[in-house]
Structure 1
Amino acid sequence: MKFNLKKYRISYSLLILTIVLGSCNKDLVEKNKGNFVKSTYFTSPSQARTFVNGIYQKLYMFQNGDAYGESPFITIELFAGHATSLGQSVNNGNVIKNVTDAVNPGFETVWSNSYTAISNANIALESIAPIVMPDADKKKLLGEAYFLRAFFYYHLVRLYGDVPLITTPVTISSPDLYPSRTAAAAVYDQIISDLKAAETSGLPDKDETGHVSLGAVRTLLASVYLTTAGFPLNKTENYALAAAEVAPVLTSYSLFTDYAFLHDNAHKNQTELIFQSNYLVGVATNAIPQLTIPFNLLVGAYGDHLGAMIPTDAFFKSYEAGDLRTEERQFYFSSYPKDKDPGTIIQFGEHALYKYFHVESALGSGISDENWTFLRLPEAMLIYAEATNEVSGPTQASYDQINLIRTRAHLDPLKNLTKDQFRIAIWKERYHELAYENKAYFDIQRTHKIYDVINNTFGDATTTKNEQNVTMKAQYYLWPIPQREISTNTKLTQNPDWN
């Protein structure tokens, strides 16, 4: 099997690939912005816009894949324990079995790209302020930069714990060139501060061009509050803040009437899709479909079929009877016509993720520009339901939110539950609705519980075996600091048990 690395390669060089996001991504263009010099670059509004657009490019690293099926969005998901992976990927297999180490390349990918994005956000926040331009436009640009800095720090602090907190541009003589780790609580304080700044920057409630919106800011901030209410900070007063923060989002967006709209080209950045990483053929493409279809079966026009993230059968069976999401070609699929031979139906022998199947590229050139969704309305709805329940127990408003999701899935509404019962119901709904969207591992971190799908209950994360007969090690609550970073910067220390 040959994987075309060049075909899916994304350049991370600053401003080499500029994305000008427009409706349905039709206005994505590529410009050469080489020879960047900070001291002379920030002189016009268009330069400021171009520079901020460049920060968005670092979002691509989550979906960047290789010939072995290794990609950060898959690594994050494998830590949750509900997926199998292509056998030839040693790193993926080691994550599943809890025997990976600090040299896993995925750990370095997320760390280095996140800090590059943060560095660029720091430059933007310092350099855009003096530019002469309409105040409203300037505030929105700065709001986007604040959001993006918070977004990347939010991933870093959850994945690695205490991480260096850098909020100003770094030069060769800067003391932050080789920084020490900052306590997670302080990092969260900065994330919240940045998101509050973005919240007051005049961003639109919704944005269908792929830029940051007020809805994205509020949803991310609510997620931060929900996370900090759990482990390791246990700031339970933040449940109320999460509910209040996300409440306006619930009336600004609406659920799709068809699950297929979650992963087609026609509905990018629309309706329930609050924040996505945007792709366009000819500008930036990805291998999401190839990574999530069964290994070596000729499904679609792809040159590679990697099987890097396949749901376990036990997880698939954990859905309630009659759940629309488990019907063929809703969230999952188990068969599909053979490429170039539609009369031959390929039986997978397992359930793959149809929610990431990209029909346009499968039936076309095999080059995918499917968007990746970071935030969508059901997550906001479930944040509201969970946070409200923790404050006051089940309310009609919290029931309404989860039941809208269940009604779309053809399930009976929930009612008459105790606070503890409702909490478990919400957690299950998060697993089933947000399945394989990089939410489960972060839920394990903040609750210290895993979904025992075989017994349909939740158990202690470090004493309950998952469906693959693996018991999560306590060290897996955090990723290791990448070994290369520790070797380069002696001020960095390693997370517990990763030495």
Structure 2
Amino acid sequence: MKHHINKYPVFLLLLSVICFGSCKKYLDEKDNSNFVKTNYFTSGSQAQTFVNGIYTSLYLFQNGDAYGESPFITIELFAGHTTSLGQSVNNSNVINQRTDAVNPGFEDVWQNSYVGISNANLALQQIPAISMDETLKKKLLGETHFLRAFFYYHLVRLYGDVPLITEPVTVNSATLYPERSAAASVYDLIISDLQAAQTSGLPAADQTGRVSLGAVNTLLASVYLTTAGYPMQKTENYAKAAATAALVLPSYTLFDKYDYLHDNAHKNQGELIFQNQYLVGVRTNAISQLTLPFNLPVGAYGDHYGAMVPTNAFFNSYEANDLRAQERQFYFSSYPQYGDPSKTVVFGVHALYKYFHVESALGNGICDENWTFLRLPEAMLIYAEATNEVNGPTDAAYTQINLIRARAKLPPLAGLSKDQFRTAIWKERYHELAYENKAYFDIQRTHQIYNVLNNTFGDATTTANEQGVTMKAQYYLWPVPQREINTNNKLKQNPGW
């Protein structure tokens, strides 16, 4: 099964994909090449359909190809705790710190993020003038503000200063060939968008896959936590991060089984705050295939890419008796052979069971597992970390981290200093949110890496990881894709690239 990544212009002038459906939400695609603004934005149903279309840009993060390359994997490789057993030269180059600005993954994320942004800009311009139900209008605008913030949040963390486009672009626009804007300005827009979404009447939680108030507040809390660290260092935002994360906690509950993180029955429920939606017959993915060991007969998949495999050293960094490190919890090292379950396939590595999709593995190999962008433990750990930075370890902060540890069958933390508690939270983020595209962004904002061999944290650019690679300072950011620079001479490259 081969998964292709689509190419788009840097800034789309018009939307080319419109989505329909109720339960399917933004899953269903339809070519709408006759779309023009003058004949489209005239009704509430058109506004709903257009916003559904913006959601489709979220798929860029799980797009993949036959070599095992995908943005969600590239982001994880930068954190240094992942091996790639497959055949991707680009993945190997990232792991060994020898990639460059022509890596297609950098281009895909840049271009496709701006597809979503350009469509969000058009929606924010056109929907306010539509005569339609005002409650629905506010909700759709809130979803759009969130989605634009979501794309910009990834862009500014990955590339630093990026073009800040807030209006639809035409061939005559000054922003057709834009300069990069300061990261501080991009963060200002992200925060403004999320604050607008907070007051748009979104539900506290949503089990259909759409943006909820919980998603808005979790993302905003993450933004505040990020901007309190490097490179912004606005430490006053720790208090804002804690207060915003606290708003999320009452609306969600932790699962009592880790299996529910990656099965079909529990999509968009429990602790799952915001997911990318997949459905057999409409939109599928290769998440399981990409994260299984290379070329082993596990499940009904045509290919097993081995593109994202945890290092043994990272796996061994879990505390003794941590449930998450036990077989078929977050990881697994063997499985019945597909076609002959009387035999057991032994991997030789610890693969990611948290992304193993049993339904497709035992079925026809077509995976519609949802990808989780935001879940409750992240909000809980943001609250604990930010609270600690403001007030030191509080009972409320201990409560949040200890709930996560209790589920993992670990003893509660107590009696720690502020510095010790900070380190404990960072470790918990690595272990609970493992391989969910959080670790690289934690390295960026803390300038520390988790030295799993010594169970300590060290300076990111002087501490070798378990693979013997020391992060280059340039790797705090991705390069601006070379193709973008070749097209637009106003764009300047990031340092070191």
State the TM-score bracket (shorter-chain normalisation): over 0.9
* Structure 1 residue 14, shift from structure 2 partner: 3.9
Q: Summarize the Cα distance change of 1:204–1:350 in structure 2 as closer, same or farther, 3 Å threshold.
A: same
The answer as to whether partners of 1:292 and 1:306 remain within 8 angstroms in 2 is yes
Percent of aligned positions with the same letter in both sequences? Answer: 75
Letter in 2 for 1:409: A
Superposed CA deviations along residues 172-196 of structure 1, whole A, max 9, x for unmatched, are: 0000000000000010001000000
The answer as to whether partners of 1:144 and 1:198 remain within 8 angstroms in 2 is yes
Q: Summarize the Cα distance change of 1:404–1:129 in structure 2 as closer, same or farther, 3 Å threshold.
A: same
* Structure 1 residue 71, shift from structure 2 partner: 0.3
Residue 4 of structure 1 corresponds to which residue in structure 2?
A: 2
User: Matches of 2:127 and 2:86 in 1, distance apart?
Assistant: 48
Matches within 5 A, 1:159-170: 159-170=158-169
Matches within 5 A, 1:401-440: 401-440=400-439
* Structure 1 residue 11, shift from structure 2 partner: 9.4
Matches within 5 A, 1:49-448: 49-448=48-447
* Structure 1 residue 49, shift from structure 2 partner: 0.5
* Structure 1 residue 40, shift from structure 2 partner: 1.2
Letter in 2 for 1:138: K
Structure 1 position 482 matched with structure 2 position 484: no
Superposed CA deviations along residues 199-220 of structure 1, whole A, max 9, x for unmatched, are: 0000000010000000000000
* Structure 1 residue 10, shift from structure 2 partner: 7.1
User: Matches of 1:19 and 1:268 in 2, distance apart?
Assistant: 20
The answer as to whether partners of 1:192 and 1:224 remain within 8 angstroms in 2 is yes
User: Matches of 2:262 and 2:394 in 1, distance apart?
Assistant: 33
Q: Give the unaligned 5+ runs of structure 1.
A: none
The answer as to whether partners of 2:241 and 2:386 remain within 8 angstroms in 1 is yes
Runs of 4+ in 1 over 6 A off after TM superposition: 8-13
Q: Summarize the Cα distance change of 1:364–1:123 in structure 2 as closer, same or farther, 3 Å threshold.
A: same
User: Matches of 2:432 and 2:337 in 1, distance apart?
Assistant: 29
Q: Determine helix, strand or coil for the equivalent of 2:274.
A: strand
User: Matches of 1:135 and 1:353 in 2, distance apart?
Assistant: 45
Superposed CA deviations along residues 436-470 of structure 1, whole A, max 9, x for unmatched, are: 00000000000000000000000000000000000
Residue 18 of structure 1 corresponds to which residue in structure 2?
A: 19
User: Matches of 2:18 and 2:345 in 1, distance apart?
Assistant: 38
Structure 1 position 472 matched with structure 2 position 468: no
User: Matches of 2:101 and 2:348 in 1, distance apart?
Assistant: 34
Q: Summarize the Cα distance change of 1:27–1:465 in structure 2 as closer, same or farther, 3 Å threshold.
A: closer
TM-score (normalizing by structure 1)? 0.97
Letter in 2 for 1:492: L
The answer as to whether partners of 2:7 and 2:111 remain within 8 angstroms in 1 is no
Residue 44 of structure 1 corresponds to which residue in structure 2?
A: 43
TM-score (normalizing by structure 2)? 0.97
Q: Determine helix, strand or coil for the equivalent of 1:128.
A: helix
Q: Determine helix, strand or coil for the equivalent of 1:55.
A: helix
Q: Summarize the Cα distance change of 1:33–1:11 in structure 2 as closer, same or farther, 3 Å threshold.
A: farther
* Structure 1 residue 35, shift from structure 2 partner: 1.3
Letter in 2 for 1:119: S
User: Matches of 1:175 and 1:489 in 2, distance apart?
Assistant: 13
Superposed CA deviations along residues 130-150 of structure 1, whole A, max 9, x for unmatched, are: 001111110000000000000
The answer as to whether partners of 1:146 and 1:194 remain within 8 angstroms in 2 is yes
User: Matches of 1:235 and 1:443 in 2, distance apart?
Assistant: 16
User: Matches of 1:297 and 1:10 in 2, distance apart?
Assistant: 28
Superposed CA deviations along residues 71-123 of structure 1, whole A, max 9, x for unmatched, are: 00000000000000034211000000001000000000000000010000000
Letter in 1 for 2:188: D
Q: Summarize the Cα distance change of 1:26–1:184 in structure 2 as closer, same or farther, 3 Å threshold.
A: closer
The answer as to whether partners of 2:5 and 2:108 remain within 8 angstroms in 1 is no
Q: Give the unaligned 5+ runs of structure 2.
A: 9-13
The answer as to whether partners of 2:159 and 2:480 remain within 8 angstroms in 1 is yes
User: Matches of 2:139 and 2:357 in 1, distance apart?
Assistant: 33
* Structure 1 residue 16, shift from structure 2 partner: 3.6
Structure 1 position 455 matched with structure 2 position 490: no
The answer as to whether partners of 2:252 and 2:270 remain within 8 angstroms in 1 is yes
Q: Determine helix, strand or coil for the equivalent of 1:260.
A: helix
The answer as to whether partners of 1:11 and 1:17 remain within 8 angstroms in 2 is no
Residue 11 of structure 2 corresponds to which residue in structure 1?
A: none
Q: Summarize the Cα distance change of 1:19–1:264 in structure 2 as closer, same or farther, 3 Å threshold.
A: farther
User: Matches of 1:127 and 1:364 in 2, distance apart?
Assistant: 44
Q: Determine helix, strand or coil for the equivalent of 2:341.
A: strand
The answer as to whether partners of 1:322 and 1:410 remain within 8 angstroms in 2 is yes
Superposed CA deviations along residues 244-301 of structure 1, whole A, max 9, x for unmatched, are: 0110211110000110000000111111000000011111110000000000001000
Q: Summarize the Cα distance change of 1:233–1:251 in structure 2 as closer, same or farther, 3 Å threshold.
A: same
Letter in 2 for 1:331: F
Letter in 2 for 1:20: G
Q: Determine helix, strand or coil for the equivalent of 1:247.
A: helix
* Structure 1 residue 154, shift from structure 2 partner: 0.1
The answer as to whether partners of 2:191 and 2:220 remain within 8 angstroms in 1 is yes
Q: Summarize the Cα distance change of 1:345–1:156 in structure 2 as closer, same or farther, 3 Å threshold.
A: same
* Structure 1 residue 20, shift from structure 2 partner: 3.4
Q: Determine helix, strand or coil for the equivalent of 2:128.
A: coil
RMSD: 1.4
* Structure 1 residue 27, shift from structure 2 partner: 9.5
